Chains A and B, each alone.
Chain A
Amino acid sequence: MEWVQNLEVDKMIDAARATGDVAAQAKIYKELQQKLIDDQTDVFLEIQIVRHAMDKCLEGYVPGPMQSFDYAFHKYKWTCGYFPSRLAGEGGPQGRKRTS
């Protein structure tokens, strides 16, 4: 959406792709970032902090910064004795009992 068409930028991207040297790539990427900051192609707002509201009885969620879907449900565990209300067909959240 920025429609950046800049030969200098293109050359930097090509140069980074052409090398297998990670340190050399990182150096080029830093120069590229400075170029985009100088050109103010965007307003750089923020990094997303992912948030979830989770029942205190549910444990095992581990954020995965590089994953858009970072839910390893098979690693989750329920640490209380009863599920809340309708899931367990019981009378309400207050009816739960913790085991730990």
Chain B
Amino acid sequence: MRFVLTNNEATVRSMAASGELTMSSQYQSPDTYDALAKMPRFKIVRGVTAVAFYLKLNTKVAPTNDVHIRKAPALATDYETVNGTILPGGDLTGPLPKTFAEAHLDTPAPKFDPEAAKAEIVKSAYAGKTDIHLNLTYVSSAKFEKGLGLLMHSNLQQIGFKVNLSGELWNRVTEIASKVDTTPNWPKSSSVRLIPRRIRCSTPSMIPSHGNLGLDGMGAESGGRQDDRRRARHR
């Protein structure tokens, strides 16, 4: 077995064409998956995850400290384009993915509705102003983040915001997001991997197994305990 580390999509396609590649990573661009799917040698396998993607909004700085201004970008998001083209994924209706069956709140999926977005701005403390500025930042090395940023830039400009879009390196994003005042209105899109603490999963296959009865037994016993000292001992 040989692992090849590369962030170059052309290299992945080339290795697939030459026969060197037998399995891609899960982080290829949609274009690369499409290209490999057209090669007779490859199949595309898919799986639902517990990873949720959010557009994080700074709730403490103007103008996104106003809940109506925060609702405007949610209504100005073209979910179909995002989920279908920019970063193919499944529906997320709130903070928790459906994977957490027992705790998931079943709410209607958010909708792309630019007119409703404009109505939210009218309800805000910024109603009537023509210079409502939003600073949007994306991680420049992630192709899908740039696509998402450009889409949101266009949609938000159309409903009246003045948008400053900038791509930054990941370490710069973590630096500016370490303080309230320097965190942009939209610091980045972000994936949040949610790990169940003691919520039962919807299917047994979601519970990781080490294939070792001793370890699995300790994990099950630890997971069922409230006593953190006992849990720590099992870890």
B interface footprint on A31-68 (CB within 8 Å = 1, 0 otherwise): 01110110111111111111111111110011111111
B interface footprint on A55-87 (CB within 8 Å = 1, 0 otherwise): 111100111111110100100000000011111
Question: Are the CB atoms of B77 and A22 closer together than 8 Å?
Answer: no
Kindly provide the distance from the CB of A87 to the nearest chain B CB, expressed in whole angstroms. 7
User: Given that A22-B199, A29-B96, A44-B93 are known contacts, is A50 also in contact with B46, CB under 8 Å in the complex?
Assistant: yes
Question: Are the CB atoms of B22 and A1 closer together than 8 Å?
Answer: no
Question: Are the CB atoms of A41 and B24 closer together than 8 Å?
Answer: no
Question: Are the CB atoms of A52 and B26 closer together than 8 Å?
Answer: yes
Question: Are the CB atoms of B91 and A46 closer together than 8 Å?
Answer: yes
Question: Are the CB atoms of A43 and B74 closer together than 8 Å?
Answer: yes
Residue of A nearest to B61 (CB): A3
Interface size on B, residues (CB 8 A): 84
Question: Are the CB atoms of B189 and A45 closer together than 8 Å?
Answer: yes
A interface footprint on B206-226 (CB within 8 Å = 1, 0 otherwise): 111000000000000000001
Binding site for A on B (CB under 8 A): 1, 16, 18-26, 28, 32-33, 36-37, 41-60, 67, 70-71, 73-74, 77, 79, 82-83, 87-99, 102-105, 107, 110, 177, 180, 183, 187-191, 193, 195-196, 198-201, 205-208, 226
